[in-house]
Structure 1
């Protein structure tokens, strides 16, 4: 069926505000149905140009340019005439689950998902090829000519395509960014349309393309929607890349769909930290918070005289009273270095929230603190840091998880589940849809199910990954895993597809992960 392009949707919205600028034409689609198409009127474009608002030929404009950008932009607009085919016999709980695994090219899937998932996805996480020259980057789409034109422009190839500079293809692919950017551009454009207004996208990347990806995302999502660039530490010892430095990290860019609607989530506190730092009372968890004695420019008594008054302490049970009693005899005033200050709270506040006050012994006396409660929910939580580190984020820990899950090392690398769980928490996603259209070994789906099992959430995943046919001789262990463990190969296919089998293997670890 015909898919309405993002450009047509944009023009339809523009027509509401500026109907005089939009022309309408009629077209018959492949099913014989009449459709209305929109286009900008030439006189409107001429008017913009006459007002000096046409930047098409402005040499002073600042923007990311690369060979093939125009083709990449068109790739996001061209309708996809393919369809999605359900495979119940190859599924786990097909009728009950809300999870989706799509096998195919992600550019096609992103087009096809627009109808059902547009504006419904809370979080997108992707770990695209890093364009290192040896990471299997072959999402060439229709952009093979982009690389050829670029190599000719810089003198690597002559006009006939003959090489003028002796250099290996892998090194060239690692250095030249145009093909990679042309691959990413339409996918990110389409991905943005799938996000909810309060949604966000998290993109893992390394130094090869981090700078270019930042510029690309600024253009597609808007600079105002840039949230953070996390430095994700994956090896404290460092990885030797023969550059003179040991690399300990890669990055994760975070962009929101609409920064005014987006709310950054918080991270869970490790159980051992809960036991060490937090206590419980009738209201739940708490730990010592800030002092109730004021600091800053408004702290002196002269600034807020009504907030200067005595608090009486019971030195036996560390309770307090606003009035002196037989048990509360120690008089505490807000004094710092001999200067009279004030409390943050009024008398009424102390009475109202008396069970939120901590009386603590300090040098030569006592001090008052407020109880700090978990910022979200009942469990203790913490804000994330831009240097993202945990021992469970390491490559070593990830490999151990894979071996424990599948009983063998069926692939060389997989994103750590704990890392993905924390990114999902930062996206403030508890019962919504999480998407990954570079799904690889389905780690994102695993993280969603694991997190649901831990906190009772109702998150669902949508994963997209190209099929990878396995050669029995070259990938013996992975082939044996696919044929013996989870999903038999369909009769029409000479060998099983690896991503689907791995995803099914992960799903079977969580038999209750259905609505």
Structure 2
């Protein structure tokens, strides 16, 4: 019975296999003959001592770190999760370098979009200190203390930042689909260096653009700075790269709508009651223009434009009422009638009959004629007026968090532009989970089912600016809050009427998330950082570490097999507790005293793969018989740990 491979994806081995596939004649006794490869590539090989390149101290080590397999694992944390049994979203606590390695087997080539807002290297933000060896202990040491900054007086100021970013971007490229896109926020401290390493990793031809985001205006101290002769910086940047050089990354044209009534930061208090300004404006518009004809409303293009921008389903008037008698309608009362396959509202205002129409029914869908009112389609690289969001951005999601947050509206715009149904969105510097917030909200708005993977190091909070222990606690609480808020909004919008008022429709959106925490392997012999001699190994009663549960083992097996995205559930098999992964993909049996009856019961479930704990068999004969009987029953893959 073969053993499970205990490492993450060996990227170096994969690259060599790709090279062998492309050029089989460069392989000599299983090794790459670089002299032959040079001959094949001919003039494309640059042997000169002087060549155009971007390098720094530690670059080769950074590449090697990315290619070094890891034996770490993800341990499930159901208590911190939400809707564990049904959700497809992930929240992973841990060093993103190690996490990205472990995601390779399952998510290689599956992620449609990556957005990251990494440390800008301003001198005060934290730069990850990576260790060349398996860095789980390094990671644990980092999370036990407040994070140290990277001051500009540091002699390796840019070098440390590049060594942190390079391996993470190398690993992230593997996760992107062929038509995948990565967006990276940055300021001008490291923008030029980021552009150079992204050109290397993704290829110069894969560069799409640098989006300029207007996140501030010349106000306050900035005006003073400008008066002193300084040029005020009002924009930050988002570098955009595609996976394989494709340029057509936009799947949905967006309109450059102004955030005048954005519900996330524009709220007002009326009579001690919190009201969304958008709803207030909507009711005000309805009241003000109830007696306005469609043509008259159309002429008031400024207010009509705001209606369109906010997709307000405003009721307006149309005087074209024919074939009806005013005497048939009580004054002041609104009647609903159906004419020409449309529903109309009729009101007798005491002088004449007026016909009321919903704007969407009279002028069609808003998207069909937005351009008529000067709304620009987003095609360019200058994204204006996001400074309007920045006033209350630290409170979006009801989580006060001041460190480098981006507006939800900005991230929504990026996600909407290039993703569609069932696409996966990854953020491995997730901070307060703005990206998860944007995914959930956008799914509700356009009725899609995007999934997210959030990765965040549990950096300790200083206790002064937050009531939470670490940033992960802030991020998880934000996702819970946003999900609950959106669910309540949806239930209000979709409540039953009349006799069916108490009936609730099934909520269609995934607002849950599974929490996993990075940790050392659950399997003693697999732990690189705990040396075990032969005596220690045989003295161990169990190969599983103390304090590790069967579910911990289950998810480590799924991770190593590359099926971490499959559903898993506990089942009873012949009186023993086992786990089923996928419909019929895998059965995991971690029980002791495995009998022939157990094997037959497993075979009856027709799995493709079965995994046992090797010590679960009483002797070698039982193990050999199990393999024989399972193979006879059609099981393709039988492994043990």
Q: How far, CA to CA, are the matches of 2:393 and 2:119 in structure 1?
A: 19
Gaps of 5+ in 2: 1-5, 134-148, 261-300, 314-365, 488-508, 512-641
Q: How far, CA to CA, are the matches of 2:81 and 2:123 in structure 1?
A: 35
SS at match of 2:173: helix
Q: Which has the higher contact order (CA 8 A, sep 6+)?
A: 2
1:121/1:261 Cα in 2 relative to 1: closer, same or farther (>3 Å)? farther
Output one character per residue of 1:259-307: Cα deviation in whole Å (capped at 9) or x when no partner: 3374324224549899735999xxxx9xxxxxxxxxxxxxxxxxxxxxx
Q: Answer yes or no: is 1:210 the counterpart of 2:191.
A: yes
Asked if the contact 1:214–1:253 (Cα under 8 Å) also holds between the matched residues in 2, the reply is: yes
Asked if the contact 1:478–1:498 (Cα under 8 Å) also holds between the matched residues in 2, the reply is: no
1:438/1:374 Cα in 2 relative to 1: closer, same or farther (>3 Å)? farther
Output one character per residue of 1:234-259: Cα deviation in whole Å (capped at 9) or x when no partner: 01126758992322111000000123
Counterpart of 2:20 in structure 1 is: 15
How far the C-alpha of 1:439 sits from its partner, in A, is: 0.7
Asked if the contact 1:174–1:208 (Cα under 8 Å) also holds between the matched residues in 2, the reply is: no
Q: Answer yes or no: is 1:75 the counterpart of 2:56.
A: no
Asked if the contact 2:213–2:384 (Cα under 8 Å) also holds between the matched residues in 1, the reply is: yes
Output one character per residue of 1:311-339: Cα deviation in whole Å (capped at 9) or x when no partner: xxxxxxxxxxxxxxxxxxxxxxxxxxxxx
How far the C-alpha of 1:504 sits from its partner, in A, is: 2.9
Asked if the contact 2:394–2:401 (Cα under 8 Å) also holds between the matched residues in 1, the reply is: no
Q: How far, CA to CA, are the matches of 1:120 and 1:177 in structure 2?
A: 32
How far the C-alpha of 1:89 sits from its partner, in A, is: 1.6
Q: How far, CA to CA, are the matches of 1:381 and 1:169 in structure 2?
A: 41
Asked if the contact 1:125–1:436 (Cα under 8 Å) also holds between the matched residues in 2, the reply is: yes
Asked if the contact 2:113–2:424 (Cα under 8 Å) also holds between the matched residues in 1, the reply is: yes
How far the C-alpha of 1:174 sits from its partner, in A, is: 9.0
Asked if the contact 2:95–2:457 (Cα under 8 Å) also holds between the matched residues in 1, the reply is: yes
Identify the match of residue 276 of structure 1 among 269, 283, 304. 304
Q: Answer yes or no: is 1:475 the counterpart of 2:463.
A: yes
SS at match of 1:191: helix
Counterpart of 1:456 in structure 2 is: 447
Counterpart of 2:479 in structure 1 is: 506
Output one character per residue of 1:80-121: Cα deviation in whole Å (capped at 9) or x when no partner: 111111111220111111110110000001100011111110
Output one character per residue of 1:171-216: Cα deviation in whole Å (capped at 9) or x when no partner: 2249831221111111111100000111100000011110111111
Counterpart of 1:66 in structure 2 is: 56
1:103/1:400 Cα in 2 relative to 1: closer, same or farther (>3 Å)? closer
How far the C-alpha of 1:385 sits from its partner, in A, is: 2.5
Counterpart of 1:3 in structure 2 is: 8
How far the C-alpha of 1:454 sits from its partner, in A, is: 1.5
How far the C-alpha of 1:440 sits from its partner, in A, is: 0.8
1:54/1:413 Cα in 2 relative to 1: closer, same or farther (>3 Å)? closer
5 Å-filtered alignment, 1:267-346, equals 267-268=254-255, 270=257, 276=304
Q: How far, CA to CA, are the matches of 2:208 and 2:247 in structure 1?
A: 12
Identify the match of residue 141 of structure 1 among 127, 130, 133. 130
Q: How far, CA to CA, are the matches of 1:3 and 1:393 in structure 2?
A: 44
How far the C-alpha of 1:509 sits from its partner, in A, is: 2.2
SS at match of 1:182: helix
SS at match of 2:73: coil
How far the C-alpha of 1:427 sits from its partner, in A, is: 2.3
- Which aligned runs of 4 or more in structure 1 are off by greater than 6 angstroms? 271-275
Identify the match of residue 396 of structure 1 among 391, 394, 405. 391
Q: How far, CA to CA, are the matches of 2:439 and 2:449 in structure 1?
A: 9
Q: How far, CA to CA, are the matches of 1:374 and 1:195 in structure 2?
A: 35
SS at match of 1:4: coil
- Give aligned pairs, total: 363
Q: How far, CA to CA, are the matches of 2:451 and 2:85 in structure 1?
A: 14
1:383/1:42 Cα in 2 relative to 1: closer, same or farther (>3 Å)? closer
Asked if the contact 1:198–1:262 (Cα under 8 Å) also holds between the matched residues in 2, the reply is: no
Counterpart of 1:493 in structure 2 is: none
Q: How far, CA to CA, are the matches of 2:211 and 2:50 in structure 1?
A: 32
1:143/1:249 Cα in 2 relative to 1: closer, same or farther (>3 Å)? farther
Counterpart of 1:40 in structure 2 is: 32
Q: How far, CA to CA, are the matches of 1:393 and 1:423 in structure 2?
A: 17
Range with bigger deviation, 62-71 or 115-124: 62-71
Return the TM-score normalized by structure 2.
0.51
Of Structure 1 and Structure 2, the greater helix share is in: 2
Output one character per residue of 1:35-56: Cα deviation in whole Å (capped at 9) or x when no partner: xxxx41254256469x56543x
Q: How far, CA to CA, are the matches of 1:249 and 1:432 in structure 2?
A: 29
Counterpart of 1:329 in structure 2 is: none
Output one character per residue of 1:411-469: Cα deviation in whole Å (capped at 9) or x when no partner: 44421101111111222444311100011111111111111121112111101100123
Asked if the contact 1:393–1:418 (Cα under 8 Å) also holds between the matched residues in 2, the reply is: no
How far the C-alpha of 1:132 sits from its partner, in A, is: 1.4
Asked if the contact 1:133–1:173 (Cα under 8 Å) also holds between the matched residues in 2, the reply is: no
Counterpart of 1:441 in structure 2 is: 432
Q: How far, CA to CA, are the matches of 1:275 and 1:195 in structure 2?
A: 43
Counterpart of 2:270 in structure 1 is: none
Counterpart of 2:362 in structure 1 is: none
Q: Answer yes or no: is 1:259 the counterpart of 2:245.
A: yes
Return the TM-score normalized by structure 1.
0.63
RMSD: 3.5
Q: How far, CA to CA, are the matches of 1:79 and 1:171 in structure 2?
A: 33
Q: Answer yes or no: is 1:192 the counterpart of 2:173.
A: yes
Q: How far, CA to CA, are the matches of 1:48 and 1:214 in structure 2?
A: 31
Asked if the contact 1:48–1:54 (Cα under 8 Å) also holds between the matched residues in 2, the reply is: no
Gaps of 5+ in 1: 26-38, 145-167, 286-370, 483-495
Asked if the contact 2:439–2:452 (Cα under 8 Å) also holds between the matched residues in 1, the reply is: yes
Q: How far, CA to CA, are the matches of 1:270 and 1:20 in structure 2?
A: 57
Q: How far, CA to CA, are the matches of 1:441 and 1:99 in structure 2?
A: 16
Identify the match of residue 79 of structure 2 among 76, 83, 89. 89
Asked if the contact 1:228–1:254 (Cα under 8 Å) also holds between the matched residues in 2, the reply is: yes
Counterpart of 2:581 in structure 1 is: none
